[in-house]
Structure 1
Amino acid sequence: MVSFIYLHGFASSPQSRKAQVLGDRFAALNVPLHRPDLNADDFSHLTLSRQIAQVEALLPPAPEPTILIGSSFGGLTAAWLGDRHPQIEKLVLLAPAFGFLDHWLPKLGEAALQHWRDTGYYSVYHYRDATQIPLHYGFITDNQRYDDTILQRPVPTLILHGHHDEVIPFNASQAYAATRPWVTLIPLDSDHTLSNVDAEIWAAIQSFCFEPAAETARE
């Protein structure tokens, strides 16, 4: 049986609107969707490496198949996991945060970034807690170790990304898909939240994750 794991975005949680919608859709099919809390009770010391290690501990041993569904920074995490673990047979990436620092840091400005370096912490709005939480500068230095252009394992990947994404531009996914023939990119008329395209997202996930298996079963 295939395991499904949903990875939420940066400063989000398994209780986010998107996570809840997908959880309900999977529940209607009697298919478990595991939604780990990537905050790990310590958002202040979040890193990409920590997220990867946390999800690695949840993966069933190979060759038991797993499909990862990742949103934004969770999508970036899923891409790295898919590159490393053969039991991950498919990826669904929702507005994945490819080139995350390249897009995020310029918006902070040099003064804020320098203050972050000097003090060690920068306050980030956390959507679950609806408050500012200090994030350690190690988040930056850890992320700088990862170059997503080297991801080359040909794991079948579905990317859904909004044309009007104001956080991670659509062309980040476009560039990623352009050199990887195993990636299918579906543009959506939406922003980074993808909150107005639930039906389109679910139809694409069903087709990508379930229909080929159903076809094989009939044969």
Structure 2
Amino acid sequence: MTNYIYLHGFASSPKSAKAEYFLRRFQSLNISLKLLDLNQGDFSHLTITRQIEQVAAEFPTDETPVTLIGSSLGGLTAAHTSQKYLKVKQLVLLAPAFGFLSHWLPRLGEEQVQRWQEEKYLQVYHYGDKRSLPLHYKFVTDASQYLDEHLQRPIPTLILHGRYDEVIPITASRDYAASRPWVELIELEDDHSLGNVLSEMWKLIQAFCQL
């Protein structure tokens, strides 16, 4: 048996369309998929470090292997969790947020980022809560230590990424996969949401995980 855990994306929730779709698909095979709420009721103090600790706390105490399925920032978190915890035997990454800060901060603009640093909190629209919530600048300082080049553990990895991703460009996953022979990248005809290719992704995940 394998333990399957799903990690939602930044400013999202376990009630996202993708999370609920995969939950139903796993249930149809009588396989448990644990959906974590990485917000922990305190989005304002979210950090990648906190997410990794939360994920690790869900690992089985015995030798049961773990497969992490992560979307966007959840994918980045899954990759760094697998680097630290050998119990993770497989990764499925959906539009993983490699180089997250390098893509996000320029869109905010230098002036807004500087104001965030000075004022400590930035209002960020939270898609799960459907409203803006304050996020502490510690999110940035914490995330800056999680570099893609640190991810060198050869763990079987399936990356599914949309060619028209407007949030995390497909080149981020292409660059990541190019230097890691244990990574299989499949490019899909969709944007960052991957909402139009759910059934296609499910077939690929079934094959990869041998469900």
Name which of structure 1's ranges 108-117 and 54-63 shifts more when overlaid on structure 2.
54-63
What CA distance in whole angstroms lies between the structure 2 residues aligned with 1:150 and 1:55? 19
Task: Report Cα offsets for 1:138-164 as digits up to 9, x if no partner.
Answer: 000001111111211111000000000
- 1:186 paired to 2:193: no
Give the equivalent residue in structure 2 for 1:99. 99
Q: Is the 1:63–1:86 contact (alpha carbons within 8 Å) kept by the matching residues of 2?
A: no
Flag structure 1 segments of 5+ consecutive residues without an equivalent: 212-219
Does the residue aligned with 2:166 lie in a helix, a strand or coil? coil
The corresponding residue for 1:136 is 136
- Residue 172 of structure 1: SS of its match in structure 2? helix
Secondary structure of 1:185's counterpart equals strand
Report deviation, 1:63. Answer: 2.9
Indicate the SS of the match to 1:35.
strand
CA offsets per residue over residues 157-212 of structure 1, 9 Å max, x none?
A: 0000000000000000000000000000000000000000011100000000025x
Secondary structure at 2:36 match in 1: coil
Aligned residues between the structures: 211
Q: Which residue of 2 aligns with 1:199?
A: 199
Q: C-alpha separation between the residues in 2 aligned to 1:152 and 1:35?
A: 26
Q: What is residue 209 of structure 2 aligned with on the other side?
A: 209
User: Equivalents in 1 of 2:49, 2:68: separation in Å?
Assistant: 17
Q: What residue identity is the alignment partner of 1:12? A: S
Q: CA deviation at 1:9?
A: 0.3
Rounded to whole Å, the distance in 2 between the matches of 1:43 and 1:125 is: 11
User: Deviation digits for residues 73-107 of structure 1, max 9, x if unmatched?
Assistant: 00000001111212111000000000000000000
Equivalents in 2 of 1:67, 1:155: separation in Å? 10
Per-residue Cα deviation, 1:35-89 (whole angstroms, up to 9, x for no partner) = 0100001000000000000001111236321100000000000001111212111
1:7, 1:74 within 8 Å by CA — same for their partners in 2? yes
RMSD over aligned Cα, in angstroms? 0.8
Separation in 1 of the partners of 2:36 and 2:69? 12
Q: Which residue number in structure 1 is paired with residue 82 of structure 2?
A: 82
Query: In the aligned structure 2, how far is the partner of 1:111 from the partner of 1:132?
Result: 20
- TM-score normalized by the length of structure 1: 0.95
1:48-127 alignment, distance < 5 Å: 48-61=48-61, 63-127=63-127
